[in-house]
Amino acid sequence: MSELAFVLRGLGFWAPGYPTPEAWAGRPADCPEDQAAAPRAELLPPMLRRRTSLLTRMAAEVAQQAIRRGGLDPAHTAMVYGSVYGEIRTTLDLLAALLEPGAALSPTKFHNSVHNTAAGYVSISAGNRVGDAALTAGRSTLAAGLLDAAARVACEGGDAVLVIAEEPLPEPLAAGLRYGPLAAAFAVSAPGRPNMPGRPCLLVQGANDMSIRPSVPPWLADNPCAAALALIDAAMRPDAAAVALEPDRQAGWQCRLAGPA
Amino acid sequence: MQPFPITAVALCNGMGDTTAAVLAALRAGRSGLGPSPPEFELSATVGAIAGPLPPLPAALADHDTRQARIAALALSELQGPLARARARWGADRIAIVLGTSTGGIGASERAYAHAHAHAGALPPGYTVARSHALDAVLPVARALGGGLAGPAYVVSTACSSSAKVLASAQRLLQTGLCDAALVGGVDSLCALTVRGFAGLEVLSPVPCRPFSRERAGINIGEGAALLLLERTGDGPARLLAVGESSDAYHMTSPHPEGLGARLAMERALALAGLPAEVVDHVNAHGTGTRQNDAMESLAIRAVLGPAVPVVATKGYTGHMLGAAGATEVAFVVDAIEHGYLPASVGADPLDETLGVDVVTARREQRTRAALSNSFAFGGSNVSVLIGAPA
């Protein structure tokens, strides 16, 4: 049985109407979606920000929150980005443009359609030359992202931030499936460094308790990165917890968070 | 970082639909570039897999896209090595880390056109999760790999995707999260990438000529490159280390002095604990654009000096984007195993102002270790250090 330890240093969160981890943790029971809300994404200079999508702005916003709260250096943190459909709205614009035979595609939209778009903008904005990855594993993206980020700091030291971000699927590709956007970030370091504040965590595999359903509002239930919501909830509480990172499966990766020492 | 043996390789691309055909073309200096097949309705020189691709087994019919068929074609050649690895390590100890830039976007192009003509209705058989998504290749690889059940994910960082996967897989192996990893890249030809690069005005109408003074830009290619990494075992080469960096400069233009490229190569050597002198050749990113050739030459000279032989192989395959990195690593493995440096097809006459020793004709020469470079949109850089067996 394989497992991997890491230290959780800081969090970031954004969903429409819930611009911080505290706002999410203190959500009302009916948890309405504020569709007019937009992430501030102040990490991105305005000249760059105006060229970016909701996905990239959400990613930049939560990345900055986690970096700041974890006390990390934005120029010297490895960045890992997880998203299932990535820059899907920009991609859809390109699919529409392709219907015109021979028309040139917008170079900006083309380079903004790649899965590592947010990675590029954030590295440019933060002056970060450490290196990054953008990944997906469908509904296991949170698990894959934590494994990748924790393995990164275990092998190479330093700090990493995992950014999970998913924007709504546009029609016609969505075929009626509707969910709201969300983004969450987790700053991680390898265990064993002296005088490092943070919460010890362990990635393990096991059977999921299918009777526990995380508290997710209906407008986020079908977001393929919704598993991140339960990890934010558990990380915002002090008590020990085991969070299913692949809650749709009978068994899978889990994150055990230590309780108070 | 701890080295791990590369115990098996499978390739398909414009040079051929089997590993043997691809490597025979590489050894003979025979390009796989040609006019785009008519079904793509593109007027471009491309590296396309010729002929019809075999359909997927019935159990995977829901996943049937060109992308999945290309993955399946390469996987069909790894059945023996994967069976041995499953018996040795257990299926749950074999990870899958694959790179792609396109995923099934070709299927989405047709689906979008269909929806446009049919009041928003998607064509039968198309779903965004199984036809379009970058991770749709994972269930195909799990199933055709014989039920692989270790950690499985897709890395997508545009043109560095399938070199990045080697970094992730090496860390999964080193931390004990798996004992073997199926790694590589799969990309499929589609209108979006060809017309996207045309919009950036970097597409060459004729076969690309990296490092030549007659270069005129890039061609797009497709295909798959799969490699099996194992904790221990016999193989033709070893993965020593992978250096990663970001330019932090521009979304599409490389840093003009090749800063990020230099950092990636330096980090690969540092992570392996090896001096620059062990590098006997470089498989360059070598796309065939003036900007890339200039900055990459500067970076190679800064890290390794002007004498190291440089091989550019995109004149064989075109730029395979999300499958390029792993394909070029596989070419380095063949060069190490058979003691030669492939000709950089199209490079002659060289751009002498670059000041690097580009291999224009095949050389019979041993390689102890080689760096394989990949650079991408977003300023994403990676350099993979491959070594001869211990």
User: Would you call B251 and A121 a contact, using CB atoms and an 8 Å cutoff?
Assistant: yes
Burial of A113 (0-12, 13-18, 19+ CB in 10 A): buried
In words, the CATH class of domain A8-197 is: alpha beta
Catalytically annotated residue among B159, B178, B190, B208: B159
Longest CA–CA span in chain B (Å) reads: 63
Contacts of A73 in chain B (CB under 8 A): none
pTM tops 0.95: yes
pLDDT at A171 over 70: yes
Task: Give the pLDDT band (50/70/90) at residue B321.
Answer: very high
Which phi and psi angles does B276 have, rounded to 5°?
-60, -25
Q: Across the A/B interface, how many CB contacts are shorter than 8 Å?
A: 212
Q: Vertex A156, ends A74 and B10: CA angle to 5°?
A: 110
Q: Nearest by CB to B168, which of A148, A154, A172?
A: A148
Query: Has B285 been annotated as catalytic?
Result: yes
* DSSP β-bridge partners for residue A254: A204, A244
pLDDT of residue A212: 77
User: Would you call A110 and B196 a contact, using CB atoms and an 8 Å cutoff?
Assistant: yes
- Domains delineated in chain B: 4-387 (3.40.47.10)
pLDDT of residue A104: 81
Contacts of B382 in chain A (CB under 8 A): 131
Q: How many CA atoms lie within 13 A of B154 on its CB side?
A: 32
User: Would you call A107 and B376 a contact, using CB atoms and an 8 Å cutoff?
Assistant: no
Please give the sequence-ordered ranges of beta strands (E in DSSP) within A55-149, or none if there are none: 77-82, 132-136
pLDDT at B281 over 90: yes
pLDDT at B78 over 80: yes
Q: Nearest by CB to A147, which of B151, B252, B263?
A: B151
User: Would you call A156 and B271 a contact, using CB atoms and an 8 Å cutoff?
Assistant: yes
Work out the average pLDDT over B270-275.
98
Q: Give the pLDDT confidence of A172-186 residue by residue, as tens digits.
A: 999 999 999 999 999
pLDDT of residue A210: 83
Work out the average pLDDT over B225-235.
98
Task: Give the pLDDT band (50/70/90) at residue A7.
Answer: very high
Cα B264 → chain centroid: 17
Domain parsing of chain A, residue ranges: 8-197
Task: Give the pLDDT band (50/70/90) at residue A1.
Answer: low
Q: Nearest by CB to A119, which of B151, B178, B378?
A: B378
What is residue B356's three-state secondary structure? coil
User: Would you call A130 and B246 a contact, using CB atoms and an 8 Å cutoff?
Assistant: yes
Contacts of B252 in chain A (CB under 8 A): 107, 111
User: Would you call B151 and A175 a contact, using CB atoms and an 8 Å cutoff?
Assistant: no
